[in-house]
Amino acid sequence: MHLSLEELLAVRDGEAAPATVEHVAACASCTAELTAIAELKTRLAALPVETPPCDLWPAVSEGARSEHRARRLRFSGWVAAGLAAALTLAVGVRGGVEAWREATLARETRALVAESQRLEQTIGEYGRGGRVVNGRTATLIADLEDRIALIDARIGQLNRDRPSQAAIDLWQERVGLLDALASVQTTRVAYVGL
């Protein structure tokens, strides 16, 4: 039997088994068929070069420019959207952090104010006796009370609507002075009581 076209093409392309190749070498019909294929291939490759009926470069160039513009617009859109998102995030994060920070400051301030009130109450209870104190203790008490008054004056200058670290620092200082004052009073009462 003669080889099929697919087998002949395999022979031509060097993909056929040795026996198939030997058949072509020995068979004039298959050899002629292979030659006809080769001639047809040559004719195909020799078909003339064709050129477009009109110049397509202006359309290609304009198309490329349009795509470039569209990409830039998309890019600008994404950048704008990205910036907006980043800004929103920043504001949100900043807002969130700020709110958390303010809440923390307010909580600490409230605790210090409560402590301050507790100490004032304690000092008031100890001081209600009107007992005599020595000069050194009286000077110490007066000094502490003056410093507390200064702190109160500074606290009065702060914005009460917005908690701040400065307010906390002042309230901490006030609590410390009150604690010292309370200690003096406690000691005095204890001493006098003896």
8 Å CB contact between 151 and 120: no
Binder of another protein out of 19, 28, 132, 194 (CB under 8 A): 28
Nearer to another protein, 45 or 132 (CB): 45
Taking the CA atoms of residue 99, residue 103, residue 106 and residue 107 in that order, the dihedral angle to the nearest 10 degrees is -170
Nearer to another protein, 54 or 132 (CB): 54
Rounded to whole angstroms, the maximal C-alpha distance in the chain is 142
Q: How far is the CB of 102 from another protein (least distance, A)?
A: 51
47 scored as a contact of another protein (CB under 8 A): yes
11 scored as a contact of another protein (CB under 8 A): yes
Binder of another protein out of 19, 53, 130, 161 (CB under 8 A): 53
Please give the Cα distance from 142 to 185 (Å, whole number): 12
Q: How far is the CB of 165 from another protein (least distance, A)?
A: 54
194 scored as a contact of another protein (CB under 8 A): no
112 scored as a contact of another protein (CB under 8 A): no
Binding segment toward another protein, per CB under 8 A, in 23-31, 98-106, 126-134, 184-192: 23-31
Number of alpha carbons in the 13 Å side-chain half-sphere of residue 33: 18
Q: How far is the CB of 48 from another protein (least distance, A)?
A: 4
149 scored as a contact of another protein (CB under 8 A): no
Sign of CA pseudo-dihedral 6, 11, 12, 15: positive
17 scored as a contact of another protein (CB under 8 A): no
67 scored as a contact of another protein (CB under 8 A): yes
**H or E stretch including 40?**
helix 28-45
Nearer to another protein, 43 or 160 (CB): 43
- 162: region left, alpha or beta (phi > 0 left; psi from -120 to 50 alpha): beta
Burial (CB < 10 A; 0-12, 13-18, 19+), residue 109, is buried
8 Å CB contact between 79 and 139: no
| Residue ranges binding another protein (CB under 8 A) | 1-2, 4-6, 9-14, 21, 24-25, 27-53, 56-57, 59-61, 63-64, 67
